[in-house]
Amino acid sequence: MNATTDECGYSPLHLGAEHGDTAFVRLLLKSGAQVDYRPDTSEEFPENTLCDEPLRLAIRNKHKDIARLLLEHGADPNKRYFFGSEINLVSDLEFLELLLTFGANPDSKDRSGLNPLMKAVKQRNNMEVIVLLLKHGADVNAITDQRHDYRTVLHYAVVSGNINIIDLMIKQGAKPNYDKDFDLKKPSPLDLAILKGDPNIVELLIRSGADVNCSSPIIGSPLHVACAEGIPNRYDILTLLLEAGADPNLKVFTDDFDYSSQLRPVLVEYIASNERLNMAIVKMLITYGSRVIMKTQFRDPDGMLNYLKNVASNENIFFILLEACEAFDPCLIRRNQVMSPKQKTKLLELSKYPLTLKKQIRLYMRKLIGSKLLHSANGFDIPHCLKKYLLFDYS
């Protein structure tokens, strides 16, 4: 009976499983029919053959009773195919539960490098599948390989945009940060949440311990991401990050061994990447300590001189940048072809004289206290007008 196969390798059991003949399959199994036919191999994704297993045929044709019969008689729930194991090829909840009940590996990855939980959490309305996988021990901290930028399950949960799924993953132990042993320098789940422009998800991740100063040589820190072009709800997200301790002067390098490879500072990134600037955002970044250097990045990596064209139409923003400026480069200001004549005249005028003592004290306190100045100023025993001056509050 087991030796009888057609030219494709199909046995009577294959045909019974494919066509849903439960009585025939039960008779064959009772008579000792072989349930697995494909040879075991060390290959993770074995090459295709003409013949699938009877279990695969039963599942593909939605014959649940036959699939259960085969599993009860020893069919391998982890049999691997070219595109993955049985569990990677199933989308139906009932068959997924059946395979898991009989020992299918919930963390098995398909040929693309994703496991069932990663694929499940990417979808907004897939809570039943997620709960089922978790019930059977799916790893909430599983990580992909280089092809998918080493994304974790939590990355994919953030992609879904469903805060309930994200919250569930965190409560089940998903880590919001990469392990320190892995210096991957890849975008974090927090970075993806910022790109989606969802303050609620950003707040949840921060509250769950996401590092607001983690950085990637590709996209910079979370503040860099929030200051990039086209981020929805930017002000709210920046507020959350800064209040959680994000450093607006964090230095990020594309090459650890080349200090000339520093990315633009956060404030410069915002001014350079956005044509329509928001005064409230510029003021907030400066209040939390963003440095203002009127030099080119060639002379100073923190310089913003070549990006002032984006503030030419907003005198209020240009004014607060001048107020916060701590250094000028008159030579390059004169040679600059990007600024408006009015900007150039004002900068050259200011660069002739040293900073006033009042401004120097403010700069010193900003450097000394950093982003905590905003919350510390109210405790200073100084006149209210000076507190407002420290915080660039000219209202």
Q: What is the pLDDT of residues 194-241, one digit of tens each?
A: 999 999 999 999 999 999 999 999 899 999 999 999 999 999 999 999
Same domain, yes or no: 33 and 121: no
Q: Please indicate, yes or no, if residue 162 is contained in any of the structural domains.
A: yes
Last residue of a domain, one of 150, 175, 200: 175
Query: Is a pLDDT exceeding 60 seen at residue 1?
Result: no
> Which pLDDT score, from 0 to 100, does residue 259 have?
73
Burial class from Cβ neighbours inside 10 Å (0-12, 13-18, 19+) for residue 361 reads middle
**pLDDT of 19 over the 90 cut:** yes
Domain boundary among 175, 203, 230: 175
The 3-state secondary structure of the chain reads: CCCCCCCCCCCHHHHHHHHCCHHHHHHHHHCCCCCCCCCCCCCCCCCCCCCCCHHHHHHHCCCHHHHHHHHHCCCCCCCEECCEEHHHHCCCHHHHHHHHHCCCCCCCCCCCCCCHHHHHHCCCCCHHHHHHHHHCCCCCCCECCHHHCCCEHHHHHHHHCCHHHHHHHHHCCCCCCCCCCCCCCCCCHHHHHHHHCCHHHHHHHHHCCCCCCCCECCCECHHHHHCCCCCCCHHHHHHHHHHCCCCCCCCCECCCCCHHHECCCHHHHHHHHCCCCCHHHHHHHHHCCCCEEECCCCCCCCECHHHHHHHCCCHHHHHHHHHHEEEECHHHHHHCCCCCHHHHHHHHHHHCCCCCHHHHHHHHHHHHHHHHHHHHHHHCCCCHHHHHHHCCCCC
Residues 98 and 165 in one domain: no
Based on the fold, state whether residues 73 and 162 are members of the same structural domain: no
Q: Choose the final residue of a domain: 65, 86, 105.
A: 105
**Residue 258 forms part of a structural domain:** no
Whether residue 298 has pLDDT greater than 90? no
132, part of any domain: yes
Q: Based on the domain organization, do 26 and 100 belong to the same domain?
A: yes
Residues pairing with 220 in the sheet: 216
The reply to whether 13 and 59 lie within a common domain is yes
Please, which residues have CB within 8 angstroms of residue 181's CB and are 6 or more apart in sequence? Answer: none
Task: Please give the tally of structural domains in the chain.
Answer: 3
Contact partners, residue 57, CB within 8 Å, separation at least 6: 14, 17, 18
Quote the domain boundaries for residue 118: 106-175
In a shared domain, residues 96 and 134: no
Q: Is residue 167 part of a domain?
A: yes
pTM, two decimal places = 0.90
101 within domain boundaries:
yes
Q: Do 152 and 175 form a contact (C-beta atoms < 8 A)?
A: yes
* Domain co-membership, 155 together with 117: yes
- Does 15 lie in the same domain as 79? yes
Q: How confident is the model at residue 180 (pLDDT cuts 50, 70, 90)?
A: confident
> Are 140 and 73 in the same domain?
no
Does the residue 219 lie in any domain? no
Domain presence at residue 382: yes
Q: pLDDT, tens digit, for every residue of 189-198?
A: 999 999 999 9
Answer yes or no: do 115 and 129 share one domain.
yes
Give the CATH number of the domain where residue 54 resides.
1.25.40.20
Is residue 236 in some structural domain? Answer: no
**Is residue 101 located within the same domain as residue 3?**
yes
State whether 2 and 88 are in the same domain. Answer: yes
Asked if pLDDT for residue 312 goes beyond 90, the answer is no
Instruction: Indicate the average pLDDT of the chain.
Output: 92
Is the pLDDT score of 183 beyond 80?
no
